[in-house]
């Protein structure tokens, strides 16, 4: 678990942290082919990528979902259902099928809408998205 949570990674703290980090970076974490990555060559991170400590990250985990049992140690301390929904909010905000929608403004607008749905599902305050 990241030190920023001071040993208590409540769903609200995790939601706020991930939302803030992705909005600050202003773009999705994808490779040159538009495939979502935990950490991209440009230095961006996806939702789960922001929750992985640098010492625990290895490119070998790319391509595996957060639900994969071999990544369970990386999710320890977080609500796995929330992490999966945060990851989906990131990944589905990038339109893989239509390049005309693949710009940072579209991504952030879509990401915020997806995150509002996550907040509603988990009963969280979404004011960090404003």
Q: Is residue 38 pLDDT above 80, yes or no?
A: yes
What per-residue confidence (pLDDT) applies to 49? 97
> What average pLDDT does the structure give for the chain?
92
Summarised one tens digit per residue, pLDDT across range 67-117 is: 888 898 898 999 999 999 999 999 999 865 666 556 888 899 999 999 999
* Alpha carbon distance 28, 6 (integer Å): 27
Helix axes 80-91, 104-122, angle to 10 degrees: 150
């Amino acid at each position: 678990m990241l030190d920023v949570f001071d040993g208590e990674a409540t769903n609200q703290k995790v939601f706020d942290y991930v939302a803030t980090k992705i909005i600050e970076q202003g773009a999705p974490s994808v490779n040159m082919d538009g495939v979502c990555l935990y950490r991209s060559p440009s230095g961006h991170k996806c939702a789960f990528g922001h929750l992985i400590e640098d010492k625990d990250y290895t490119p070998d985990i790319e391509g595996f979902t957060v639900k994969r049992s071999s990544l369970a140690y990386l999710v320890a301390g977080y609500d796995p259902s929330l992490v999966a929904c945060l990851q989906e909010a990131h990944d589905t905000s990038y339109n893989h099928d239509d390049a005309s929608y693949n710009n940072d403004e579209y991504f952030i607008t879509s990401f915020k809408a997806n995150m509002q749905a996550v907040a509603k599902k988990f009963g969280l305050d979404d004011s960090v998205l404003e």
